[in-house]
Amino acid sequence: MVFKIGLIGCSRVSKKKFIPAINSLNFATITSIGSRTNSKARQWAKEIGCSNYGSYEDVISSDIDCVYISLPDGLHEEWAIKAANAGLHVLCEKTSTTSFESAKNIIDCAKRANTRIMECFSFRFHPQNNQVLELIKKNHIGNIHNFIGNFGYPKPDDQNIRLKKELGGGILNDAGCYPICASRIIFNEEPIGVMSNLNIEPNLGIDVSSTVVLTFNKKNAIIEAGFDRNFKSNYEIWGSEGNIKVNRAYAVPNNFETKIEIEKNDETEIIKNIPIDQTALMIKAFYEDIMKITKCSFNFERELLSQARVMEAVRLSNNKKKFITLEEIN
């Protein structure tokens, strides 16, 4: 069976990451492209050799199995629900929703329609992620106490959708979500509560930098993100007997050789990974789980909802200027 995918949104990440990933896979193909403007959809269709193009509605009504949604975050709920109602599986770019209520709506709709939805945190499928988890499982650096995660880059131009409040812009949704997700994966548990500070740019009405402290059981995660700094995409795990550093953790180019640094007993061990397409690995895992070939290591919908709950707690903590427990988000 060929897995037929429709694109909802002609985005930069779609062109740089998703389309090349699909082209590398022998079980999937892009058969429909949707954009806000017919001219852009036609241009993209011509470039990749796709005969069907038009509006987002045209994509949903076409002969496909799944949609890939790479719209601004504030539009995800609407089109994820429309796709699920049409009986389509959904790969949705992060952040999948801008509220916990929105996440629940999407998941409820997918369950009723008997379709699947996954939030596209492709970094978790990179081999280095499993290598770090295996090191922790083997107690290589002792008891884990802290996770320190950073993701930031220079500010985009003022017309960039990342800076549009009405479209769900802001550094938390765009970048802070990554190390938050990574901390939950590394600790293999959900935080007890959150304390956050989001720096809101008055002229834009969105957060341009953020500091988030997640309290877990006998450990914590410190997350920094910002539009106002040099590029950084890393995390460090601090254990009782050593440290693990991943210097390119989230946005990993397909041609990039990653390194895991293990600091222990005043010595540094380096584990290298050859370049790999983490987006292709993500799509493969999604397809194989749906087709009941290989069950994924996590439940897509449960993970989406758990991440959305933490993100909601972060927003609420900043708004109320106090510590928020996850139990308060329901």
* Per-residue model confidence (pLDDT) at position 141: 98
Inform me whether the pLDDT recorded for 325 exceeds 90: yes
Give the pLDDT band of residue 204 (cuts 50, 70, 90). Answer: very high
Give the pLDDT band of residue 108 (cuts 50, 70, 90). Answer: very high
Give the pLDDT band of residue 193 (cuts 50, 70, 90). Answer: very high
Interhelix angle 127-137/177-187, rounded to 10 degrees, is: 40
The backbone torsions φ and ψ at residue 110, rounded to the nearest 5 degrees and listed phi first, read -65, -40
Tokens coding 159: 């017309």
The backbone torsions φ and ψ at residue 68, rounded to the nearest 5 degrees and listed phi first, read -110, 115
Length of the chain: 330
Query: Helix H segments across 9-74?
Result: 12-13, 19-23, 38-48, 56-60
pTM of the shown model:
0.96
Fold of 3-122: Rossmann fold (3.40.50)
Mean pLDDT of 254-273: 96
125-275+297-328: CATH, from 3.30.360.10, 3.30.390.50, 2.60.40.10, 3.20.20.80:
3.30.360.10
Give the pLDDT band of residue 1 (cuts 50, 70, 90). Answer: confident
Question: Strand 3-8 vs strand 28-34: parallel, antiparallel, or unpaired?
Answer: parallel
**CB 73, CB 169: distance < 8 Å:** yes
Cα 202 to the center of its chain, rounded Å: 27
Percent of the chain with pLDDT over 70: 100
Domain boundaries, the chain: 3-122, 125-275+297-328
